[in-house]
Amino acid sequence: EVQLVQSGAEVKKPGESLKISCKASGYSFPTSWIGWVRQVPGKGLEWMGIIYPADSETRYSPSFQGQVTISVDKSISTAYLHWSSLKASDTAMYYCARRLERITIFGDITRWFDPWGQGTQVTVSP
Amino acid sequence: DIQMTQSPPSLSASVGDRVTITCRASHNISIKLNWYQHKPGKGPKVLIYAASTLQSGVPSRFSGGGSGTDFTLTISNLQPEDFATYFCQQSYSTPQYTFGQGTKLEIK
């Protein structure tokens, strides 16, 4: 079974660092992009960025560039989301997801995300 | 950036009903539109990709349509397990895979 299992909930203080994880199983980890998504309480989903485990090529949404770092450890099929200095506004649920793709009827590539991790709640409070 | 506008924000319906959720893109995104179901305490689950292709294992009462800027997700014969929040997502402008604001489907 293909699955992504995320690390548990975290409670941190502003200014602290944090790294949360997303462990993949059931497929070839290096050859599928893994993305991260934020959901602030009561709000929709925000795209953060994506990484290709085979070579660690990473692309960030402009809103999150410089705010977080996405990385992987291929040896243990795990992706990470890291903050060096948390803010209260980082309080949210975070999801990882595997990207899939195929050729459309028009000859170009379409992409979607499956599966998703169960989510990691991050709470930042003084 | 491509903006995705979803409507309605919430919807009340009964078991057995048919409902339609719409998603509008700010630019032409061809058929690069995905639909997800999201239940509390779980990660989102893909229902439809490429606007109308049903993900393997998803019941056929879910269907998607549209192209360009206007898209729909239709759920026929609503079942109790279908009450959840639904999101659209564009995959045209990578790597900015923006989402709609979500539609919460509640039991009437």
pLDDT (tens digit, 9 = 90+) per residue, A38-68?
999 888 899 999 999 999 999 999 999 999 9
pLDDT of residue B96: 87
Mean pLDDT of A18-36: 97
Q: Check whether B100 has a pLDDT greater than 90.
A: yes
Chain B 19-38, residues with CB within 8 Å of chain A CB atoms? 30-32, 34, 36
Spell out the residues 6+ positions from residue B103 whose beta carbon is closer than 8 angstroms to its own.
B6, B7, B8, B9, B10, B11, B21, B85, B86, B87
Compute the distance between CA of residue B53 and CA of residue B49 in angstroms, rounded to an integer.
5
**Touching check for B50 and chain A: CB below 8 Å?**
yes
Q: How confident is the model over B22-34, as pLDDT tens digits?
A: 999 999 999 999 9
**Touching check for A42 and chain B: CB below 8 Å?**
no
pLDDT of residue A104: 86
Q: How confident is the model over B56-96, as pLDDT tens digits?
A: 999 999 999 999 999 999 999 999 999 999 999 999 998 78
pLDDT of residue B1: 87
pLDDT of residue A66: 97
In eight-state DSSP terms, residue A15 is T
Q: Check whether A112 has a pLDDT greater than 90.
A: yes
Mean pLDDT of A24-29: 97
Closest B-chain CA to A36: B97
Tell me the percentage of chain A whose pLDDT exceeds 70.
100
**Touching check for A95 and chain B: CB below 8 Å?**
yes
The closest alpha carbon to B9, from B101, B108, B88, belongs to B101
* Closest approach of B105 to chain A, Cα-based (Å): 14
Q: Is the backbone of residue B47 left (phi > 0), alpha (psi -120 to 50) or beta?
A: alpha
Q: Which of B31, B49, B86 to mutate to test the interface with A (most CBs of A within 10 A)?
A: B49
Cβ-based contacts of B42 with chain A (< 8 Å)? 118-119
Of B87, B94, B102, the CB nearest to A111: B94
pLDDT of residue A108: 86
Per-chain mean pLDDT for chain A: 96
pLDDT of residue A105: 83
**Touching check for A63 and chain B: CB below 8 Å?**
no
Contact at 8 Å (CB) between A89 and A38?
no
CB contact (8 A) between residue A116 and residue B100: no
